[in-house]
Amino acid sequence: MSPKIKVLLLGLISLTFSIYGYVISERAVENFRKSEQCFKNVTYELSPMFDAHTLLIVDSHVKTAHGLMSFEDFCKNMDLAETTIKKTLKGYEKKLGSDAEKEIFLSLEQRCEETFDYLKKVKKICQEKSKEKIEELISNGELYANTDPTLDLINEILEKELLLSSDYNSVSIKSLKDFEKYVTLFMGFSVVLSAAAFFPTKVEKKLKRRVK
């Protein structure tokens, strides 16, 4: 094999390696980005929305009914809950990608609208400062009828986001491992071709004999 062919082969292998490496790296980075986005959805949007329903709404009802929270703090929590839910809902909507996510979001948006309707009713009770009506919302199940379905849906979305994040990570890791194998193969070819460059060809041997 002539030196020119050896150099050409090394060049082709290097070019192939560079293109493949770039594609794999971009794919891995994109999947890691998607995985990070899923994690951010859980951390910055869905978890605060979940807490708004459990800590700000449900927990405040129970504490107020038992005299452990003033009506002033109760009303503040209801306002904060509504603000938090609207903010996180809007933030989550901006980060939707697939049609499946958008479909789930419509269900979540509908559930949150029902929460807002419930909060309007509660705010009227705030103005009346009626502890009995708060107790009634708990005893007749109206509080939990409004919050439980939403919490179940948020939990479902949380689980899907975490599974999706894990899937993206798995794909990225697999791509990097495939790239590692390709690098090993490339190094093997490079060593063989580089070593071959130090061995004279048959033509070179014959020319040397004629010179003698």
Measured distance CA(175)–CA(188) in Å, rounded:
20
Residues 77-132 have pLDDT tens digits of 999 999 999 999 999 998 877 777 788 889 999 999 999 999 999 999 988 889 99
Number of residues that this document lists for the chain: 212
Alpha helical stretches, state H, the chain: 3-40, 47-51, 59-65, 71-94, 99-128, 131-139, 142-196, 202-211
Measured distance CA(49)–CA(112) in Å, rounded:
10
CA 180 and chain centroid, separation: 25
Query: How many domains would you assign to the chain?
Result: 1
The structure tokens listed for 171 are: 């794909």
The four Cα atoms 194, 197, 199, 201 give a dihedral, to 10 degrees, of 140
Residue-range definition of the domain harbouring residue 205: 3-211
| Mean pLDDT, residues 4-20 | 73
Higher pLDDT, 172 or 145: 145
